[in-house]
A and B are shown apart, each in its own frame.
Chain A
Amino acid sequence: DAGVIQSPRHEVTEMGQEVTLRCKPISGHNSLFWYRQTMMRGLELLIYFNNNVPIDDSGMPEDRFSAKMPNASFSTLKIQPSEPRDSAVYFCASSFKSGYTFGSGTRLTVV
């Protein structure tokens, strides 16, 4: 198994632009999580899905953030419009009952 696959690895965009982050979870894992990591705030849970259904999106900072999981093998996190304070590393993780498997993350820089 190739693990959790995230793309792109790095994204540099201008303020106001739309950004889409992508994640392919491990086959058979029924829970998917989106986290954001910064030095100031550490790891923050943004949203998570179970069986493709969003369960808790209370961590999504603003309406500018949205996430979808159209099927068991794909999820997106979209920021529109992006702002400099959105700069962070965004991780996707998947699990089945217990331990998470994390992707390598997307380092987002908004200038």
Chain B
Amino acid sequence: SQQGEEDPQALSIQEGENATMNCSYKTSINNLQWYRQNSGRGLVHLILIRSNEREKHSGRLRVTLDTSKKSSSLLITASRAADTASYFCATASAGGTSYGKLTFGQGTILTVHP
């Protein structure tokens, strides 16, 4: 079963608006990562937040992590049509020897209308 569950499943907004996607997970994590996938392409790593971090920024991306609620959010500010893609959260479990194994959620399909 998938560790991460994204919400919403689909999001449709106008260019210039902000887009917020949420991710919930079940077990303790070492870090949480967000990926983007354009149609017909592989996933692209966007940002990684460690379990001891609460917020991280990268350009127009802002990620928050609440380990007490086992949840994370990805905010894309001032969205562009080129941001249209599927966005996945992925978790790396804490402890053990997982060698960086990630478990992916089902993804949020974001459509940004020009």
**Which of B33, B41, B104 contacts A99 (CB under 8 A)?**
B33
Q: Find the A residue at minimum CB distance from B103.
A: A45
Asked if B88 CB lies within 8 Å of chain A CBs, one says yes
The docked-state distance in angstroms from the alpha carbon of A42 to that of B103 is 11
Give A68-93 interface residues, CB cut-off 8 Å to B: 91, 93
The reply to whether the CB of A43 lies closer than 8 angstroms to some CB of chain B is yes
Contact A102 B42 (CB under 8 A): yes
Chain A residues with Cβ under 8 A from B92's Cβ?
A: 98
State the interface size on chain A (CB cutoff 8 A). Answer: 23
CB contact between B101 and one of A4, A33, A42, A102 (< 8 Å): that residue? A33
**Is residue B8 contacting chain A, with contact meaning CB distance below 8 A?**
no
A103 within 8 Å of B (CB atoms): yes
Interface of B is mostly: strand
Cα distance A16–B32 in the bound complex, in angstroms:
40
Closest-CB distance, A64 to chain B (whole angstroms): 23
What's the nearest-Cβ distance from chain B to residue A33, in Å? Answer: 7
- B77 CB-CB contact with A under 8 Å: no
Is A66 positioned at the interface, with any CB of B under 8 Å from its CB? no
A48 B99 Cβ-Cβ under 8 A: yes
Minimal Cβ-Cβ distance residue in B for A92: B42
A105 within 8 A of B: yes
A31 CA / B104 CA spacing, docked (Å): 17
Alpha-carbon distance A33/B103, docked complex (angstroms): 11
Give the contacting residue for B42; candidates A55, A56, A91; CB below 8 A: A91
> How far is it, in angstroms, between the C-alpha of A4 and the C-alpha of B43 when the chains are bound?
11
- Nearest 10 interchain pairs by C-beta: A102-B42, A99-B45, A50-B99, A43-B104, A102-B43, A42-B106, A104-B42, A95-B100, A31-B100, A31-B99
Chain B interfacial positions (CB closer than 8 Å to A): 2, 31, 33, 35, 41-45, 48, 88, 90, 92, 97, 99-107
A residues apposed to B, CB below 8 Å: 4, 31, 33, 35, 42-43, 45, 48, 50, 55-56, 91, 93, 95, 97-105
